[in-house]
Amino acid sequence: MRQYYFEQFVLAIKSAGFISSKLINSQNALDFAYVVFLKLALSGEVEKTEIKRYTAKWFVMSILTGRYSGSPETRMDADIRNINEKGVVKYLTEIEAADLSPAFWEFALPQRLETPNSSAPALSTYFAAQIVNGDKGLFSATSTVRDLYGASDVHHIFPKHYLQQQQALNNRSIYNQVANYTYLDTPINIAVGDKAPNVYFKDAFESAESTGHVFGYPMTVSELEKNLTQNCIPLGVKDWNYNDYQDKFLVQRRKMMAKKIEEYYKKL
């Protein structure tokens, strides 16, 4: 154990957007990522400047695939043997080909976002992607997701109380779907209240067009559209109500979130 190695490892994980322990829902994945870091640091397999990048990539791959859930000891033992035999880079490439195929990004990952579990690995990785990208919070021209994470609660895009008023949607597993979550400033959250999306999003667009401001922030229509895209919110939301929540909004947003995660991973 060396303090320098551990500090560099922590920086590697933070560089992937996992800036808080609340975002890390697999201690096993974190532990094994440190094994990978030490292997790279001591073996000379890659340039020193590449060690953090491959460590971060291994960690995110492990989180997304749930690699060390279930029977972690067996998987870790096999991974150590393969790393010793093939090296981290070659073995990681093989894992990506097997477990992160186009089918994973297009079908499996959106399915993993079909959950009310707020600690779902796919959701944590989505927020990490937003943090790395420097994405702004919803309707914000200044506050980033990095700023808001831990300092603000997540917001229900289709407000919880609004959905609860509909008998068919008054179920925690429905209105608390993770694809219904986003970060925004608390004052904006209060201003939105329990309004339907086709009310408050339409108001936001009309305000951007007529005054150049949205909830007090300077924002043009094009900037507002960019802000929605950063937060993986379909532009059609300004015309949607509770009838469109499950079959349109959630389906489209899961696909957008999965695409953002894919682009983020491939840039690590």
Number of domains present in the structure of the chain: 2
Say if 113 falls within a structural domain.
no
Task: Return d(Cα 173, Cα 263) in angstroms, integer.
Answer: 28
Other C-beta atoms closer than 10 Å to the C-beta of 119 total: 12
Q: Say what the pLDDT of residue 71 is.
A: 86
Tell me the whole-structure pTM to 2 decimals.
0.97
Task: Identify whether residues 95 and 138 lie together within a single domain.
Answer: no
Q: Is 249 found in the same domain as 139?
A: yes
Question: Any idea which residue has 């000379």 for tokens?
Answer: 44
Give pLDDT tens digits along the chain (268 positions): 799 999 999 999 999 999 999 999 999 999 999 999 999 999 999 999 999 999 999 999 999 999 999 889 999 999 999 999 999 999 999 999 999 999 999 999 999 999 999 999 999 999 999 999 999 999 999 999 999 998 888 999 999 999 999 999 999 999 999 999 999 999 999 999 999 999 999 999 999 999 999 999 999 999 999 999 999 999 999 999 999 999 999 999 999 999 999 999 999 9
Beta-bridge mates of residue 154: 183
Residue 24 lies in a domain: yes
pLDDT in the model for residue 47: 97
Tokens matching residue 62:
């492990």
Range of the domain at 184: 134-267
Are 183 and 87 part of one and the same domain? no
Q: What pLDDT score does 131 carry?
A: 98
Residue 189 and residue 215: Cα distance in Å, rounded?
10
Domain boundary residue, one of 100, 126, 146: 100
Contact residues for 229 (Cβ-Cβ < 8 A; gap 6+): 235
Interior/surface letters 49-61, b for 16+ CB within 10 angstroms, e for the rest:
eebbbbbbbbbbb
